[in-house]
Amino acid sequence: MKEKTAIHPFDQLAKPARRALANAGIKTLEQLTQLSESECMALHGIGKNALQILKTALANRNLSFAQCAKN
Protein backbone atom coordinates (compact mmCIF):
# COMPACT_ATOMS: atom_id res chain seq x y z
CA MET A 1 0.00 0.00 0.00
CA LYS A 2 1.30 3.43 -0.92
CA GLU A 3 1.69 6.06 1.77
CA LYS A 4 0.13 9.45 1.24
CA THR A 5 2.77 12.10 0.84
CA ALA A 6 2.15 15.62 2.03
CA ILE A 7 1.41 18.00 -0.80
CA HIS A 8 3.52 21.12 -0.66
CA PRO A 9 1.38 24.28 -1.00
CA PHE A 10 3.60 25.53 -3.81
CA ASP A 11 2.62 22.45 -5.87
CA GLN A 12 -0.77 24.08 -6.45
CA LEU A 13 0.87 27.03 -8.22
CA ALA A 14 1.48 27.34 -11.93
CA LYS A 15 5.06 26.81 -13.07
CA PRO A 16 5.87 30.53 -13.53
CA ALA A 17 4.84 31.23 -9.93
CA ARG A 18 6.87 28.29 -8.61
CA ARG A 19 9.89 29.50 -10.58
CA ALA A 20 9.43 33.03 -9.22
CA LEU A 21 9.51 31.75 -5.65
CA ALA A 22 12.48 29.48 -6.34
CA ASN A 23 14.41 32.34 -7.96
CA ALA A 24 13.72 34.45 -4.88
CA GLY A 25 15.06 31.64 -2.67
CA ILE A 26 11.67 30.96 -1.09
CA LYS A 27 11.17 27.28 -0.34
CA THR A 28 8.74 27.34 2.58
CA LEU A 29 5.64 29.20 3.70
CA GLU A 30 7.59 30.43 6.71
CA GLN A 31 10.06 32.15 4.38
CA LEU A 32 7.12 33.65 2.50
CA THR A 33 6.00 35.44 5.67
CA GLN A 34 9.04 37.71 5.31
CA LEU A 35 7.46 39.30 2.22
CA SER A 36 4.50 41.65 2.06
CA GLU A 37 1.73 40.93 -0.45
CA SER A 38 2.99 43.74 -2.68
CA GLU A 39 6.56 42.39 -2.57
CA CYS A 40 5.26 38.95 -3.50
CA MET A 41 3.21 40.39 -6.37
CA ALA A 42 6.33 42.18 -7.61
CA LEU A 43 8.01 38.83 -8.29
CA HIS A 44 7.86 38.07 -12.00
CA GLY A 45 5.49 35.12 -12.36
CA ILE A 46 3.26 35.81 -9.36
CA GLY A 47 -0.21 36.97 -10.30
CA LYS A 48 -3.56 37.39 -8.56
CA ASN A 49 -4.37 33.68 -8.75
CA ALA A 50 -1.03 32.62 -7.27
CA LEU A 51 -1.32 35.26 -4.56
CA GLN A 52 -4.74 33.93 -3.53
CA ILE A 53 -3.41 30.35 -3.36
CA LEU A 54 -0.50 31.53 -1.23
CA LYS A 55 -2.74 33.58 1.08
CA THR A 56 -4.98 30.55 1.62
CA ALA A 57 -2.01 28.27 2.29
CA LEU A 58 -0.61 30.76 4.80
CA ALA A 59 -3.97 31.17 6.54
CA ASN A 60 -4.36 27.38 6.82
CA ARG A 61 -1.18 27.38 8.89
CA ASN A 62 -2.06 30.52 10.87
CA LEU A 63 0.58 32.50 8.99
CA SER A 64 0.34 35.68 6.94
CA PHE A 65 2.34 37.95 4.72
CA ALA A 66 4.46 40.62 6.41
CA GLN A 67 2.74 43.94 6.98
CA CYS A 68 3.89 46.84 4.82
CA ALA A 69 5.91 49.39 6.71
CA LYS A 70 4.21 52.77 6.81
CA ASN A 71 6.38 55.83 6.29
Helix (H, G, I), strand (E, B) or coil at 32: helix
Per-residue pLDDT at 8: 81
Q: What is the mean pLDDT of residues 19-36?
A: 95
Q: Is the pLDDT of residue 71 over 60?
A: no
More confident residue, 17 or 71: 17
Residue 4 has pLDDT above 70, yes or no: no
Q: What is the mean pLDDT of the chain?
A: 89
- Residue 41 above 80 pLDDT? yes
| pTM, rounded to two decimals | 0.83
Judge whether 55 and 65 are in contact, CB under 8 Å: yes
